[in-house]
Amino acid sequence: MKPIPTSPPNIAPLLVFGAHPDDIEFGCGGIVARETIIGRPAHLIVCSRGEAGTHGTAAERTAEAEKAARLLGATMEFIDLGGDAHLEVRPAHAFKLADIIRSLKPGLVLAPTLTPNQHPDHWRLGELVRDAARLARFGGLAELKGTPPHAIRQLLFYAITPGAEPAGAMPVVIDVSSTETVAAWTAAMEAHASQLKTRNYVELQLARARMHGLGAGLEYAQLLYPNDPFVFDSLAPLTRSARTF
């Protein structure tokens, strides 16, 4: 595992999982860019090389993802969970991801939403990451005896497409409006040139972010869906909501 760079004080490292080379950039790239700009180390794990896609070879898509990660200010690596369109929810895969979590010791983890009506690799990876985050805490697992237990602070899910946004769920709204953030995110999405041959995914994702931002009084926003309730020491961190009362 490539180590996540040392975090500044009080900034927990971010670990983001994606099933395919472009999932992270399209689904939560603005958030990754925003976090690295403020000094949060981010590491991306991509679980296939997009070899089942209609456009772009595995080598091309690998190079695109590596370029995009650099543009987001993140480090990245690829792992093998059976290949593009072959991902399965299996204990062995969950243990593999749990070992990554233990090795990298992130504070925050992002993964695709569990909504079924999307590419099956997306929701299956979301389930695997959810299971792995829990398994990473358990000290007595023989499969993970090589790395010490680690408990992350929060697991949050991101929606790669509009249809992957969980119906009725209350999201966390992340402001990605700064010029620097939008520029880095846009460049990272444009790095996936092979995937822009049939649809303008960059414009789609920017339009989504614009819509979510307008609903919260922001220029651009992306949404995250927490796996568990947030816990605060007081009401002080609760600075604003998306609604203007």
SS3 66: helix
How far are the Cα atoms of 90, 93, 97, 160 from residue 103, in angstroms, in the given order? 20, 15, 10, 26
Residue whose token pair is 């651009």: 220
Percentage of the chain surpassing pLDDT 90? 92
Q: What number is the average pLDDT over the span 69-92?
A: 97
The domains found in the chain, sorted by start residue, are 14-226 (3.40.50.10320)
Q: Positive or negative, the Cα torsion across 17, 47, 201, 58?
A: positive
**Binning pLDDT at 50, 70 and 90, where does residue 227 land?**
very high
Tens digits of residue pLDDT in 122-160: 999 999 999 999 999 999 999 999 999 999 999 999 999
Residue 224 and residue 85: Cα distance in Å, rounded?
A: 24
Residue 229 and residue 188: Cα distance in Å, rounded?
A: 31
What amino acid is encoded at 213 in this protein? Answer: G
Residue 240 and residue 200: Cα distance in Å, rounded?
A: 33
The pLDDT of residue 9: 60
Q: Are 157 and 225 in contact (CB under 8 A)?
A: yes
Average pLDDT, the chain: 95
Point out the least confidently predicted range of 4-18, 113-127, 198-212. Answer: 4-18
What amino acid is encoded at 86 in this protein? Answer: H
Inter-axis angle of helices 58-72 and 179-190, nearest 10: 170
Task: Please determine, for residue 36, whether its predicted confidence score (pLDDT) is greater than 90.
Answer: yes
Residue 74 and residue 106: Cα distance in Å, rounded?
A: 14
Q: Which is nearest to 34 in space by CA: 18, 57, 10, 11?
A: 11
Residue 68 and residue 30: Cα distance in Å, rounded?
A: 12
Task: Please determine, for residue 192, whether its predicted confidence score (pLDDT) is greater than 80.
Answer: yes
Task: Please determine, for residue 50, whether its predicted confidence score (pLDDT) is greater than 60.
Answer: yes
The pLDDT of residue 223: 98
The pLDDT of residue 49: 97
How far are the Cα atoms of 81, 170, 210 from residue 242, in angstroms, in the given order? 38, 11, 14
Q: Are 112 and 164 in contact (CB under 8 A)?
A: yes
The pLDDT of residue 239: 87
Q: Report the 10 Å Cβ neighbour count for 7.
A: 16
